[in-house]
A and B are shown apart, each in its own frame.
Chain A
Amino acid sequence: MCLAIPGKILEVNGDKANVDFNGVKRDVIIALVKDAKVGKYVLVHAGYAIELINEEEAQETLKLWKNIVEEEGLDESLFF
């Protein structure tokens, strides 16, 4: 339930941003975090950014998440 995954902000439009989750793009709500700007990484829970994280750490965590999805043979859409 408290699963949260990192993604990179591609575009900001008011309280929403288009976020890239390692190739899968999705709109998320960014109203809960300060300074959510294009190029920054956010940790996303159920479609809402809950915290900012730095780029290097986000990329590392992204790889790990992609691995989990592949290892489990899960449908990526369940997560992104």
Chain B
Amino acid sequence: MQILGTKQLRDRKVSEKIVRIIIKLLSDINRKIKIMHVCGTHEHTISKYGIRSILPKELEIISGPGCPVCVCPAADIDKAIEIGKRENTIITTFGDMLRVPATNLSLAELRAQGADVRIVYGPNDAVKIAKENPDKEVIFFAIGFETTVPLIGYEIKINPPLNFSVICAHKLIPAALELLIGIDQLNIDGFISPGHVASIIGTTPFQLFSDAYHVPNVVAGFEPNDVLMALAMLLKQIKNKEHKTENEYTRVVKSEGNKIAQKIIADVFDSVSSPWRGIGRILDGGLAIKDSYSKYDADKKFDIKIEKSIDIQPGCSCHLVMTGKIYPYECKLFKKICTPVNPVGPCMVSAEGTCAIYYKYG
């Protein structure tokens, strides 16, 4: 199958051609097909361009846990809040993280109470704040998948000041795919995998997943025709009873990934069993800072234990939305009590949260 050139990424005529291919393949397969993606940016593309509405009803696209803000456990946010309550601390993080409800408060509410909580564009900005404020502890609340991890690893490796530390809430995508494929009621026929995660880790970890679980997988870019093309490639595999990982996003993703970034990740972090909000603990689903860099590990520096935390507030269905078990509009709170202005669960906060995207594009 031909891989798309970038000129065709939003060309409607190209979309129509790919949809015709999809219809033909579905007709050949002659059963309902369920494809899951695990990336908020993919859901954004699918909803914004109304991709579901132009596809046959036999092809269902469900959204998995593709939003690092959403899968960050309330306990980690609670931890950041407890540190932020202390004198002479500055909490820094990405903008999406601020309004996520945790057990009692969000970081935005903490800031409203007078704590110093700042949004940064990247971890280097947090290090800069640490250098400018040597008498304060500056904590970077680090969330994100493999795309974001090497950025934080790089800053830790180049000897930031000792008043800088990191709450490490990074999560890993391949481990989550293994969990999702094991959920019986989902019956996923194939995955669209996130292109920018693959730009770092390469396609090999996804190939190992396809091989182990006999499930078709396509690493895809983020334009509408990227997604349509990925669907066509998956259907072709399903029709031919294949189960491999293909790369639709060749303009960026190399099979070996980014070796420099991979080395930084391996030098600074260990993969660990890690809790995902609303989903549960995933083996090798997250990262922790290695002991050799423990002086930058906020967990070790501040020794805060969160005894009880609440990931899913009463009535909230984020745990079901994030595992593709329901669509946002099937949640009782959606658009009624839970809105972007007054979010109950994490999926309604982030621009990449499934509920926030459905609220916007409905």
Contact = CB atoms under 8 A, between A and B. Distances in A.
B252 interface: yes
Interface string B330-362: 000000000000000000001010000000000
A19 B180 CA distance: 39
Nearest to A1: B68
Interface stretch (B74-82, B121-129, B210-218, B272-280): B121-129
B111 to A, nearest CB: 19
Interface string A33-71: 110000000010111101101101100110010010000
A43 to B, nearest CB: 6
B125 A47 contact: yes
Interface string A14-45: 00000000000000010111100000000101
Interface residues of A, number: 24
A1 B148 contact: yes
Given A1-B68, A1-B69, A33-B260, A50 B124 contact: no
Interface string B182-222: 00000000000010110110000000000000000000000
A2 B39 CA distance: 8
Contacts, number: 96
A32 B150 contact: yes
Contacts of B282: none
B269 interface: no
Contact of A50 (B7, B9, B200, B251): B200
A4 interface: yes
B89 interface: no
A61 to B, nearest CB: 6
B296 interface: no
Contacts of A1: 40-41, 67-69, 94, 96, 143-145, 147-148, 350, 352
Interface in B10-48: 10, 39-41
A45 B260 contact: no
Interface centre among A29, A33, A46 (most CB of B within 10 A): A46
Contacts of A3: 41, 196
B169 to A, nearest CB: 12
B287 interface: no
B258 A51 contact: yes
Nearest to B70: A1
B264 interface: yes
Given A2-B39, A46-B94, A50-B261, A57 B251 contact: yes
B41 A2 contact: yes
Contacts of A46: 94, 121-123, 148, 151
B242 interface: no
Interface centre among A2, A32, A53, A56 (most CB of B within 10 A): A2
A2 B261 contact: no
Interface string B149-182: 0110010000000000000000000000000000
Nearest to B7: A60
A63 B199 CA distance: 21
9 contacts: A32-B150, A32-B260, A48-B122, A53-B251, A54-B251, A60-B9, A61-B9, A61-B251, A64-B9
Shortest Cβ-Cβ A-B pairs, 7 listed: A47-B122, A60-B6, A46-B122, A2-B196, A2-B147, A57-B251, A57-B6
Interface of A: 1-4, 29, 31-34, 43, 45-48, 50-51, 53-54, 56-57, 60-61, 64, 67
